[in-house]
Structure 1
Amino acid sequence: MARLPFPPAIISALVTVTVALGCGDGEGPTQAHPATRLAFTVQPTRTEGAQPITPAIEVTILDAFGDIVPTATNAVTMALGANPNAAALFGTISVNAAGGIATFADLRVDRPGTGYTLVASMSGAAEATSAQFAVGLTFSQLSVGYLQTCGVTTSGAAYCWGRNSNGQLGDGTTTDHTSPVLVLGGLHVAWVSTGWSHTCAVTMSGAAYCWGFNGNGELGDGTTTDHMSPEPVPGGLSFAQVSAGAEHTCGVITSGAAYCWGLNVRGELGDGSLNSQSRPVPVLGTLTFDQVGTGFNSTCGVTPERAAGCWGSNEFGQLGDGTTTDHTSPVLVLGGLGFVQVAAGFEDTCGVITGGAAYCWGENDHFKLGDGTMTDRMSPEPVLGGLSFAQVSTGIEHTCGVTTSGAAYCWGDNSYGELGDPNSFFDARSSPTAVHGGLTFAEVSAGAWSTCGVTTDGSAFCWGRNEFGQLGDGTKEMRLVPVRVLQ
């Protein structure tokens, strides 16, 4: 009998190990263990609203021992878990795994907030919940309308909040919102302007879109039908800027020509008639413009030569030509001042000239012209205080501006705290009063009885009347000082 090289017990152990490893049957390694659960291996981080979460989210398929299942190609589905602001998740929400890993490269959350989570699920496996993350908004521009506010983020998304009676928030509903909601359509927006109950925007490519109330053709789409989401303004015009007034809209195309549409009862379209128009019509005359601003029933603009031209209603001298006669085409503002910007308000107009001085003219109730009186002015009067402004904005009964150093000042009526000065609540101010809080602003926008501004770091702040949520802070409480928009 041959002598065995190892004792029988050792030989038995070696055979057991060989069979367990599958090394003796010619079939290679055994099958991996089945998938039992998921895990986030790349977690979501703070992201900009409506923009892809970066880096891409990764979910790994694991077995009962916590090891990756490298052969898994199962479909993994993503959803929002904790959802503090009733947001929606966009992008590719169902992905087939590769090598046991599902990668989500374009997930987007539409509303700002903190404490969001994602939940990953897969048939036959325990779902996984991500770490909490925040969604923020960084604004580049804001526009305050009658009882709503809209803004553009640095990534080109448009958001609106406040009253939505005619779909002027552009989210496809007529539901009011107390915090920013994404305007539908996936537009890449450069500029937004909101008026009485309608809103218009210009995309990065120069296309104009409008939404909201359209009873006078102010959306410019050839109809008088309201729209709850953006509708393109036809005509093939390439716009540099638009301004939504009470019930009309005007814009400047890239060649400098001005076009207007909507209500035209006082000549506010500037086409030489009193006929309302549901599509853009050219403003009469030879003037070209760098910028236009629309008010209640009037419009003004700045030419490349720094002259100001106005047209429409002139009942209180808001056209600045020294008369109270309406004009259906542009007339030059008196004084020979070199304007860099103008803003048309309810029945008044203000502007900034080269060097930073602010001038106002027109109706002067509640001291909104800022010249220390309540006397109507038919030509530009300097705003008191000697401040150097970069920009001004006119509302219904008040006016605000940002100085070249970034300080915000307001004057006029303060019945709802729209001046941002708690010490003068319910008291009108006849000259510029500093907005409380010491914030450094890039721009401000004055609306009906509220004001908003964008700071130099892209934060949005609002103050004043708030019964429809137009301040965007998640409440309907009036604010006497700036409060941060939920972002």
Structure 2
Amino acid sequence: MNGSELGEGSMKMEVIEKEKLVYMWGYLPGAMPQRSPLLSPIVVGVPQQGIVNAGNYSWKDVCGGGCGFAMAISDSGKIITWGSTDDLGQCYVTSGKHGEIPEPFPLPDEISIVKAAAGWAHCVAVTETGEVYTWGWKECVPSGKFLGEQAVDKEVSDGQSSFPAQQVTRHPQGSRSKVGAAPGIETRGGEDGAKRRRVSSVKQPAESSSPGDEGPSALPCLVTLNPGLRIVSVAAGGRHTLALSGQVWGWGYGGEGQLGLGSRIRMVSSPHPVPCIDSSSLRKDRAMGLSHGCPGSEGQGLRVPGNYIKRIACGGRHSAVITDAGALLTFGWGLYGQCGQGSTDDELSPTCVSSLLGIRIESVAAGLWHTVCISADGDVYAFGGNQFGQLGTGTEQAEVQF
């Protein structure tokens, strides 16, 4: 999904900074008439001259993620998309066509995008003023007005999850997180939420649909955030989203703990703070014997190194964040060991990867079943599923920790 890593079946892109060329390879059905994969890198053409809103016809950045579709940012701050995934509305297919040629996505003309990410079936973007726009699969588009960290009244989002329905339970006794289900959070997999949305819908003049229209996709929406809150980075997973302001915010599907709220929460319909630093998220049993462990007292969790979060990444059903001190925390689905905790258990709260304590982690990327991170010394660590050799270890054996 992203950081810079993509899940199986996704296309990959690489930027050559000097020439500002974008190369792609892999499977991108909407951009390839024969729907056959690209086995070697090819250059992606910039938007054609004369296209409305194309702006500066040069590349600025590429966006990790995207299953069957691709997304990049132009020098003028426009989102450029191509490809499609069954008209779910992530890229230019909101107009009903499959984009074989990169074209600007119809966001408001006056905004400039600086960061963006693509998930399995949704997209999220950050403007230069710290605002967040999101679109695509409806359950990934938040509803309700965010009023800050205080308890507020929030709406419950609509629709059944595309994941198998399951009975969702609270975090077991002894949870490392004290965060429970708040308003705007749905914890029962079999219940439909009220079909209500309170987000600002961004539409072109020719569009006649409304935010309440039925269908799997939602039009681009401006996420309602607390006044003064400035988002600097976003990440999109299979069905969930993280946003970073120093504090981590999350919304979407959380059935495996990928939102880090301490419970198997089926749906979070508005941005909620993810407790990373202040929660007891360093496992004492794994930290014993580590000379570089963190201070703590008997009966209490050990504090994670750092004061704020500086990097975020979303995988298919798991997430990873990095503190300013270089500590790596993971949470969510752990079946393939992608959380790096030495087991295949799900992590319902952000948990420090204790085997990496003492190593300053600078960057992280999360795929469908695996996680990769880079240290300040330039070393690469990988863990999780390895069915296709994605860990680069020379074997196909999964790794539950580095």
- TM-score, normalised by the number of residues in structure 2: 0.58
In 1, Cα distance between equivalents of 2:341 and 2:56? 49
Which of 91, 102, 113 lines up with 2:48 in the alignment? 113
Match of 1:344 among 348, 366, 369: 366
Q: For 1:335 and 1:192, how far apart are their aligned partners in 2?
A: 28
2:388 aligns to what SS in structure 1? Answer: helix
Residue type of the alignment partner of 1:338: R
- CA offsets 1:152-171 (integer angstroms, 9 cap, x no match): 11221111111051110157
Q: Which has the higher strand share?
A: 1
Do 1:272 and 1:328's aligned partners in 2 also have CA atoms closer than 8 Å?
yes
2:268 corresponds to: 277
In structure 2, the partner of 1:355 is: 377
1:163 maps to 84
Code of the aligned partner of 2:356: G
Question: 2:232 matched to which residue of 1?
Answer: 240
Instruction: State how 1:6-25 maps to structure 2 within 5 Å.
Output: none
Would the aligned equivalents of 1:316 and 1:324 in 2 still touch at CA under 8 Å? yes
- Which aligned pairs between 1:45-194 and structure 2 lie closer than 5 A? 112-113=47-48, 136-163=57-84, 165-169=87-91, 172-184=94-106, 185-186=108-109, 187-194=111-118
Letter in 1 for 2:396: M
Equivalent residue of 2:309, what SS?
Answer: coil
Cα RMSD of the aligned pairs, angstroms, is: 2.3
Give the aligned length: 250
Q: What is the one-letter code of the residue matched to 2:76?
A: S
One-letter amino acid of the counterpart of residue 279, structure 1:
S
How much does 1:290 deviate?
A: 0.6
Q: Give the AA of the match of 1:270.
A: G
d(CA) in 1 for partners of 2:322 and 2:244? 10
**Structure 1, residues 80-125: CA drift from partner, whole Å, max 9, x if none?**
xxxxxxxxxxxxxxxxxxxxxxxxxxxxxxx8225x699xxxxxxx
The answer for unaligned runs of 5 or more in structure 2 is: 1-45, 145-156, 159-211, 279-307
Taking structure 1 as the reference length, the TM-score comes to: 0.49
Distance 1:140 1:277, change over 3 A: same
CA distance in 2, matches of 1:140, 1:173: 24
- Partner SS for 1:235: coil
Name stretches of at least 5 consecutive residues in structure 1 with no aligned partner.
Answer: 1-110, 119-133, 381-487
* Residues 257-311 of structure 1 deviation map (CA, whole Å, 9 limit, x = unaligned): 1111111110111111222111111112426311111011100011100111000
What code does the residue aligned with 1:340 have? E
Residue 202 of structure 1: aligned partner: 126
Report the AA paired with residue 248 of structure 2: A
Q: CA deviation at 1:175?
A: 2.2
CA–CA distance in 2 between the matches of 1:147 and 1:229? Answer: 19
Alpha-carbon separation, structure 2, partners of 1:373 and 1:297: 24
- Percent identity, aligned pairs only, is 26
**Amino acid corresponding to residue 333 of structure 2 in structure 1:** S
What residue is the counterpart of 1:220 in the other structure? Answer: 142
Counterpart amino acid of 2:69? Q
Aligned to 1:251: 243
1:342 to partner: Cα distance: 0.5
SS at match of 1:221: coil
Conserved 8 A contact 1:307-1:339: yes
What is aligned with 1:335? 356
1:326 aligned onto 2:357: no
Kindly indicate whether the alpha-carbon contact (under 8 Å) linking 1:271 and 1:329 is maintained by their aligned counterparts in 2: yes
| Kept in 1: contact 2:258–2:317 (CA 8 A) | yes
8 Å CA contact 1:294–1:300 kept in 2: the answer is yes
